[in-house]
Chain A
């Protein structure tokens, strides 16, 4: 039997499941009434917020500065900072074009809104935790079908102060700080190919092209630095198959090297000596688990209790805690932290509240 015919049978089964239940008649009046009520409530809210903003103009700045802007606190890994922004992740409504980046605590609970331009989709904190690089489409008309026609990189303090625009006129995303905080690698969408570039913060006008990718083939979806001179990247190949984790000198010279073959959803450890990734479970095609590979020796171990139908590494802290998501006792996806790079005891932290699982970043000073 062909794949097409079995897919047809599966579709038929889905339709049978759908059609076995008869919907009740719609409560049209109640729905239309609720729309009117919410519109009225929104108008009242706008008026209230406008008045409150005038009265308390200074207060939000003071609050935000005290919570997030304490650079000395951030550099020390202050627990208060990490409780508000242990992880960052962007969220947005593609149809309304309203985006924001939020900070989440280590349980994955949303705690703080980091961006307020309604156009920022991703924020990555610097190695000292004092600055962030933001991907934003501000100033450009958003389209539900195509998103922002231009997304640029901005660097600022965590409260948005002391902002610098790094790029302009392109679709730039996926920024990653070098360990010393002096350079940022990112991906630029350029017809007919995509490019991996490195920008020197001391000279941001002329980024260096590290690698080019034919559209759709190997475009990075994960960027990291092995050291201050070497960029690592991973991109799914055509068809979503596993692909190698690659690296190249940050000045664009030298050959491209394979540092781990055939991985999926890789995350490098803080010391860049190991990589965690999603691997299959031998003998059970429906399950996947976290595997950890030593980049020097190639030795691979698996995290025994990570096996589930949906397992993804998220981040690896400097004190060797490996965060990953898996479904635990049912379909809900939970955030799990395992000590000793996954070889120690693990703890289920809760179900993360972030929208996506691919643009979640760790605050480097936390953990």
Chain B
């Protein structure tokens, strides 16, 4: 196969799979779905490897594929697989401080309740550190839509994750970008 920056597709798979799996795990809430998403995204990258090799960004392309596969999959299945709050305590590593587990639990519970696109927007913003513009391009929506989705998610997160006193500032009309 062709190479990218001296790196072949096999090396790319080996290097990127953990990152993609983790992203898929947070998006879907399930180990098996994370595996499927990471694998399908990498296959898509492999099918276009020669083109991406000529100046593209295979990591970003794989991430875009994974997010869109997840959204398309939730539509196709006509159901949503929630992040399973009941399994969170069991899955939490013992070496994390208790407050860290609690914060992560709150994030997981909130992500389980929001629509797939809003969940993806929040994850791309807070976890992948993408710009509003890049998120809008991945989700194929306007930047305003991304902002409004993030504002709604941020209001809920601040109440539970950040300092409890912060929640009082997130009334609609103040922090809400609409």
Which of A's residues lie within 8 Å of B, judged by CB? 1, 3, 5-7, 9-21, 23-28, 30-32, 34-35, 38-39, 42, 92, 94-96, 144, 221, 236, 239-242, 264, 280, 285-286, 288, 309-310, 327, 330-333, 350-353, 355-358
CB < 8 Å neighbour of B79 from A39, A241, A332: A332
In addition to A310-B115, A310-B118, 8 A-B residue pairs with Cβ atoms within 8 Å of each other are A10-B107, A10-B158, A21-B22, A31-B13, A32-B1, A34-B39, A240-B145, A331-B82
Q: B106: which A residues are within 8 A, CB to CB?
A: 13
Cα A240 to Cα B147 with chains together (Å)? 7
CB < 8 Å neighbour of A221 from B61, B75, B144: B144
Q: B100: which A residues are within 8 A, CB to CB?
A: 12-13, 16
* 20 interchain pairs, CB-CB under 8 A: A13-B103, A13-B107, A14-B107, A21-B34, A23-B18, A25-B17, A26-B17, A31-B42, A32-B1, A34-B39, A92-B140, A95-B48, A95-B61, A241-B178, A264-B148, A285-B172, A285-B176, A330-B82, A333-B117, A356-B141
CB < 8 Å neighbour of B80 from A30, A34, A330: A330
Tell me whether B104 is interfacial, beta carbon within 8 Å. Answer: yes
Chain B residue, CB-CB nearest to A235: B144
A39-B47 CB under 8 A given contacts A14-B126, A24-B35? yes
Chain A residue, CB-CB nearest to B13: A28
Tell me whether B3 is interfacial, beta carbon within 8 Å. Answer: no
| Chain B CB within 10 Å, residue with most, of A28, A285, A332, A352 | A285
Chain B residue, CB-CB nearest to A35: B46
Cα A25 to Cα B15 with chains together (Å)? 10
CB < 8 Å neighbour of B127 from A18, A42, A350: A18
Cα A14 to Cα B25 with chains together (Å)? 12
Q: B64: which A residues are within 8 A, CB to CB?
A: 94-95
Cα A13 to Cα B39 with chains together (Å)? 26
Q: A285: which B residues are within 8 A, CB to CB?
A: 152, 155, 170-172, 176
Please report which residues of chain B, range 113-164, place their CB below 8 angstroms from some CB of chain A when the two chains form the complex. Answer: 113-119, 123, 126-127, 129, 137, 140-145, 147-149, 151-152, 154-158, 161-163
A16-B104 CB under 8 A given contacts A21-B91, A26-B13, A331-B113? yes
CB < 8 Å neighbour of A14 from B74, B123, B178: B123
Q: A288: which B residues are within 8 A, CB to CB?
A: 152
Report B114 CB to chain A, min CB distance, Å: 6
Contact status B39-A9, CB under 8 Å: no
Contact status A351-B78, CB under 8 Å: yes
Report A41 CB to chain B, min CB distance, Å: 11
Contact status B144-A236, CB under 8 Å: yes
The prevalent SS among residues of B at the interface is helix
Q: B93: which A residues are within 8 A, CB to CB?
A: 20
CB < 8 Å neighbour of A309 from B123, B152, B161, B175: B152
Contact status A10-B161, CB under 8 Å: yes
Q: B170: which A residues are within 8 A, CB to CB?
A: 285
Cα A92 to Cα B22 with chains together (Å)? 26
Contact status A38-B43, CB under 8 Å: yes
CB < 8 Å neighbour of B21 from A3, A24, A333: A24
Cα A254 to Cα B106 with chains together (Å)? 54
A21-B177 CB under 8 A given contacts A32-B46, A94-B137? no
Q: A1: which B residues are within 8 A, CB to CB?
A: 162-163, 165-166
Contact status A357-B143, CB under 8 Å: no
Cα A246 to Cα B56 with chains together (Å)? 41
Chain B residue, CB-CB nearest to A38: B47
A-B pairs with lowest CB-CB distance, top 10: A35-B46, A26-B17, A6-B162, A240-B144, A23-B21, A13-B103, A240-B147, A236-B144, A16-B104, A17-B104
CB < 8 Å neighbour of B113 from A12, A18, A38, A309: A309
Contact status B17-A358, CB under 8 Å: no
Tell me whether B96 is interfacial, beta carbon within 8 Å. Answer: yes
A286-B96 CB under 8 A given contacts A20-B104, A31-B43, A351-B78? no
Cα A27 to Cα B22 with chains together (Å)? 15
Report A29 CB to chain B, min CB distance, Å: 8
Contact status A221-B162, CB under 8 Å: no
Q: B80: which A residues are within 8 A, CB to CB?
A: 330-332
Report B156 CB to chain A, min CB distance, Å: 6
Report A102 CB to chain B, min CB distance, Å: 13
Q: A5: which B residues are within 8 A, CB to CB?
A: 162
